[in-house]
Chain A
Amino acid sequence: MKNQENTDFETRSLDSACINESQLTHHWYHNIKYLLVGILFGIVFVKSEVVSWFRIQEMFRLQSFHMYGIIGSAILVGMFSIWLIKRFDIKTIYGEKIEFHSKSFNKGQIFGGLIFGFGWAITGACPGPLFAQIGTGATVIIVTLLSAIAGTWFYGLLRDKFPH
């Protein structure tokens, strides 16, 4: 796989999530390990009912601690592990230094955040659970996923028109 230079630093600076910091190029099969992490993650998603529309409704009505416990403890474990990585300068399995990105503030985090919140409460799913729900056999959620892709595309098309 050829590693081309990224030319869209301006757009990527607005993007918080999911940035590939690795400078290494690998054969495609190195990605199998992410598939395996995804499978484990998907199993946890389903077994803890995070992907359940009902659990999301309980969360937004303050009727259950379950989702707050999950998100809260996930953040604490993430925080502690990032602290450990920084403190002991832990490297990747390829020996690379692990990079962290600062996120810069823009109004999108407010407007986009509210809009995503509306969608989260309606569909009972953020993007990850959409994939897991389809895996559980809820085939109609393919429509929801396609619509989410359309929403992302629409944002990309008109992003200069929205306040940031």
Chain B
Amino acid sequence: MLDFLRQPWPWYIAGPLIGSTVPALLILGNKSFGISSSLRHICAACLPANIPFFNYDWKKEVWNLFFVFGILLGGAVAIGFLSNPNPVEVNPNLAVELAGYGITNYNNLVPEDIMNWQVLFSLKGFLVMVVGGFLVGFGTRYAGGCTSGHAIMGLSNLQWPSLVATICFMAGGFIMANLVLPHILAL
């Protein structure tokens, strides 16, 4: 059993489990599934700076911060007790492409060759970790949600604006991954 749990879980197990977060949060306390809002609550709690967008009662939404802190702990539990001893398996075509950029370490879910504290202070590391993170935080709030709030919660509730957002997430990702990111990784 433990051996089975240590293997990477297939999509048909993980997808329904992720989807069932939607009714779990609704039934536990009328909470709409969404994660990027936590970033806004952190702004509202730590640095509201009299900006109207952050001037609201963030304590009412504190459940969301408990939820994301749980995600962090869950990551630690999964690595500590259920970690997969084998490297991440990827499509051979991707492995060939990434090897061209010097990415050959598949020991972690995060590519250590381009995401570590030393690389952070290079142009490549700055673009990948700092600029990339900024785009995630800015874009999700501008769009009013991320993969959880729009793609999963919004589409589950048949909201067409969420379909527009999801299509744009994917379009942006395809453009970046295929047309721009190769130049960043080649730096």
- Give chain A's interface residues, CB within 8 Å of chain B: 1-8, 11-12, 14-22, 24, 28, 30-61, 63-79, 81-82, 84-85, 90, 92-94, 96, 98-106, 108-128, 130-141, 143-157, 159, 162
Q: Give the number of chain B interface residues (Cβ < 8 Å).
A: 136
Give which listed residue, B53, B137, B150, contacts A151 with CB less than 8 A: B137
Please measure, in the bound complex, the distance between the C-alpha atom of A22 and the C-alpha atom of B8, giving whole angstroms: 36
Could you jot down 7 A-B contacts, CB within 8 Å? Answer: A16-B154, A35-B67, A42-B73, A44-B74, A63-B90, A116-B143, A123-B129
Please measure, in the bound complex, the distance between the C-alpha atom of A71 and the C-alpha atom of B79, giving whole angstroms: 23
* Residue of A16, A114, A120 ringed by the most chain B CB atoms within 10 A: A16
- Asked whether A156 lies within 8 Å of B141 as measured between CB atoms, the reply is yes
Residues of A within 8 A of B23 (CB): 78, 81-82, 84-85
CB distance from A22 to the nearest CB of B (A): 4
CB distance from A21 to the nearest CB of B (A): 4
Give which listed residue, B26, B42, B155, contacts A75 with CB less than 8 A: B155
- Asked whether A50 lies within 8 Å of B138 as measured between CB atoms, the reply is no
- Asked whether A46 lies within 8 Å of B30 as measured between CB atoms, the reply is no
Give which listed residue, B71, B109, B111, B146, contacts A17 with CB less than 8 A: B146
Please measure, in the bound complex, the distance between the C-alpha atom of A112 and the C-alpha atom of B138, giving whole angstroms: 7
Given contacts A18-B33, A126-B147, list 19 more A-B pairs with CB under 8 A: A16-B145, A19-B32, A46-B78, A51-B109, A56-B177, A57-B94, A99-B30, A103-B154, A112-B142, A112-B144, A113-B139, A113-B171, A116-B136, A118-B135, A126-B140, A128-B68, A135-B75, A136-B78, A151-B137
- Asked whether B142 lies within 8 Å of A162 as measured between CB atoms, the reply is yes
Residues of A within 8 A of B38 (CB): 18, 127
- Asked whether B136 lies within 8 Å of A36 as measured between CB atoms, the reply is no
CB distance from B63 to the nearest CB of A (A): 5
- Asked whether A115 lies within 8 Å of B19 as measured between CB atoms, the reply is no
- Asked whether A137 lies within 8 Å of B79 as measured between CB atoms, the reply is yes
Give which listed residue, B16, B43, B155, B165, contacts A156 with CB less than 8 A: B43
Interface secondary structure of A, over-half rule = helix
Give which listed residue, B16, B93, B151, B175, contacts A73 with CB less than 8 A: B16
Within 8 A of A (CB), among B110-169: 110-111, 115-117, 120, 127-162, 164-169
- Asked whether A6 lies within 8 Å of B56 as measured between CB atoms, the reply is yes
- Asked whether A108 lies within 8 Å of B177 as measured between CB atoms, the reply is no
Within 8 A of A (CB), among B72-110: 72-79, 82, 84, 88, 90-91, 93-94, 98, 106, 108-110
Residues of B within 8 A of A28 (CB): 62
CB distance from A150 to the nearest CB of B (A): 6
Residues of B within 8 A of A84 (CB): 23
Residues of A within 8 A of B176 (CB): 60, 117-118, 120-122
Residues of B within 8 A of A38 (CB): 66-74
Please measure, in the bound complex, the distance between the C-alpha atom of A30 and the C-alpha atom of B98, giving whole angstroms: 46
Residues of B within 8 A of A133 (CB): 75, 109-110
Residues of B within 8 A of A122 (CB): 127-128, 131-132, 135, 176, 181, 184
